[in-house]
């Protein structure tokens, strides 16, 4: 078993040196604001737990945050984030320090933040559930908790156990073998399937920055090398945050490696209420016809133009709810909904094909289903 941590900070330092740009920064800022459903961060404090490259801290600063605080366990990440703070002019309202989310005393000492943010970090601490619990400690009473965790719901074949072994092997490998593993991974997951579909894999790499401003090869190294590592089921995370931390889910994007969650303290009003009031929630009326396996067909009372299609499989703006809780596992191929279910759904060519959280029958489980348009907008 690998005993040393992956050099996350070294990887992010390389990313900033070779890939940082104003374009990527703007993409990161817009992505952050879109998920939070805010026009800017003016008047809000932003805590970046495990700041990594510092890109998202800088994005929050550029979005107008009244105060930004960034910390990381890795000295190289702290140094890289400090470079971006210097790039921003060393603003007095942005602090960069070293710290550990596993240190409860340290977390309790931090000032309360309106936005507590930790993207793709807490599952790399070696004690994920303690990290999540500690990360919520500085959350302001009416603040939001924005975290992203690797989801076990996605890694079905190969399984999470397979990837944990790969990560250990990568960290024990020579530099040459690491490059070979990166190439093999890219061939299996990108080049081979894209070429089979007669699509250009190099276009995916060149446009990869559209995903939060990231770099394809940086993320490949981060994925293969990310150790320590734990996976969390989407429902498992929602249940933990609800039952252990008293948080309610506001927003979720599932279906890719990391599932993004946005929580707030239960029954505590904040800006999200105004956002929800500005959107129309439509109840789905059964009966729902079973399609196949775990998939059910929900009749829509009106035609919605912005649905997924062959040419644009992630175009839909529809968010599905079960008992008022967003499912967020959209844009899923029909075969996966039928085979796996558990919140997966797709809005395709005018039809809504969905599954319930526990694969029960939506006609008899006593729950209500509804949808909201523009809850999650198409990503830039």
The bridge status of strand 369-373 relative to strand 351-354 is unpaired
* Residues 142 and 112: beta-carbon distance below 8 Å: no
C-alpha 126 chain-centroid distance: 19
pLDDT of residue 11: 83
CATH number for domain 1-269, candidates 3.40.50.2300, 3.40.50.970, 3.30.310.50, 3.40.50.150: 3.40.50.150
C-alpha 123 chain-centroid distance: 12
E strand or H helix at 335: helix 334-340
* Residues 344 and 350: beta-carbon distance below 8 Å: no
Handedness of CA 168, 169, 173, 176 (dihedral sign): negative
Tokens of residue 283, six digits: 């109840």
pLDDT of residue 212: 63
Q: Tell me the domain boundaries of the chain.
A: 1-269, 279-373
Number of Cβ within a 10 Å radius of residue 355: 27
Per residue of the chain (380 residues), give pLDDT as tens: 445 777 788 888 888 888 899 999 999 999 999 999 999 999 999 999 999 999 999 999 999 999 999 999 999 999 999 999 999 999 999 999 999 999 999 999 999 999 999 999 999 999 999 999 999 999 999 999 999 999 999 999 899 999 999 999 999 999 999 999 999 999 998 999 899 888 898 888 888 766 666 688 888 888 898 899 999 999 999 999 999 999 999 999 998 889 999 999 999 999 999 999 888 889 999 899 999 999 999 988 777 778 888 888 888 889 999 999 999 999 999 999 999 999 999 998 778 999 999 999 999 999 999 998 865 443 33
Report the alpha-carbon angle 94-89-97, nearest 5: 35
Closest Cα partner for 229 from 51, 77, 47, 1? 1
pLDDT of residue 210: 67
| Most distant pair of Cα atoms in the chain: their distance | 59
Q: For residues 189 and 161, give the distance between their C-alpha atoms in angstroms, rounded to a whole number.
A: 18
pLDDT of residue 378: 38
pLDDT of residue 2: 42
Question: Could you give phi then psi for residue 45, rounded to 5 degrees?
Answer: -95, 145
Residue 86 CB burial class (10 angstroms; 0-12, 13-18, ≥19): exposed
Q: For residues 95 and 90, give the distance between their C-alpha atoms in angstroms, rounded to a whole number.
A: 9
pTM recorded for the entire structure: 0.90
Cβ within 8 Å of residue 150, ≥6 positions away? 120, 123, 229, 230, 231, 232, 257, 258, 259
pLDDT of residue 213: 62
Buried b (16+ CB within 10 A) or exposed e, 115-138: bbbbbbbbbbbeebbebbbbbbbb
């Amino acid at each position: 078993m690998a005993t040393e941590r992956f050099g996350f900070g070294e990887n992010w330092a390389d990313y900033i040196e070779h890939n940082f740009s104003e374009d990527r920064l703007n993409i990161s800022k817009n992505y952050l604001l879109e998920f939070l459903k805010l026009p800017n961060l003016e008047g809000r404090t932003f805590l970046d737990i495990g700041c990594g490259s510092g890109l998202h801290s800088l994005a929050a600063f550029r979005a107008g945050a009244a105060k930004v605080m960034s910390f990381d366990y890795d000295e190289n990440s702290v140094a890289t984030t400090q470079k971006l703070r210097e790039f921003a002019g060393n603003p007095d309202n942005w602090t960069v320090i070293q710290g550990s989310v596993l240190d409860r005393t340290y977390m309790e000492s931090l000032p309360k933040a309106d936005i507590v943010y930790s993207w793709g970090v807490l599952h790399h601490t070696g004690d994920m559930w303690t990290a999540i619990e500690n990360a919520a400690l500085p959350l302001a009473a009416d603040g939001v908790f924005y975290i992203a965790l690797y989801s076990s719901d996605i890694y079905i074949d190969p399984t999470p156990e397979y990837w944990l072994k790969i990560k250990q092997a990568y960290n024990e490998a020579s530099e040459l073998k690491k490059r070979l593993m990166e190439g093999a991974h890219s061939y299996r997951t990108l080049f081979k399937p894209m070429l089979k579909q007669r699509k250009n894999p190099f276009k995916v790499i060149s446009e990869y920055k559209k995903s939060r401003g990231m770099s394809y090869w940086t993320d490949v190294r981060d994925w293969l090398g990310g150790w320590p590592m734990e996976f969390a089921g989407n429902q498992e995370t929602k249940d933990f945050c609800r039952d252990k931390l008293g948080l309610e889910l506001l927003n979720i994007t599932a279906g890719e490696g990391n599932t993004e969650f946005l929580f707030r303290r239960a029954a505590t009003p904040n800006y999200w209420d105004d956002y929800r009031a500005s959107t129309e929630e439509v109840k789905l009326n059964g009966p729902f016809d079973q399609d196949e396996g775990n998939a059910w067909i929900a009749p829509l009372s009106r035609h919605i133009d912005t649905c997924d299609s062959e040419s644009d499989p992630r175009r839909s703006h529809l968010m599905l709810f079960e008992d008022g809780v967003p499912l967020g596992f959209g844009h899923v191929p029909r075969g996966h909904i039928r085979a796996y279910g558990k919140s997966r759904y797709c809005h395709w060519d005018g039809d809504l094909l969905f599954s319930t959280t526990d694969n029960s029958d939506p006609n008899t489980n006593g729950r209500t289903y509804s949808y909201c348009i523009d809850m999650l907008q198409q990503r830039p």
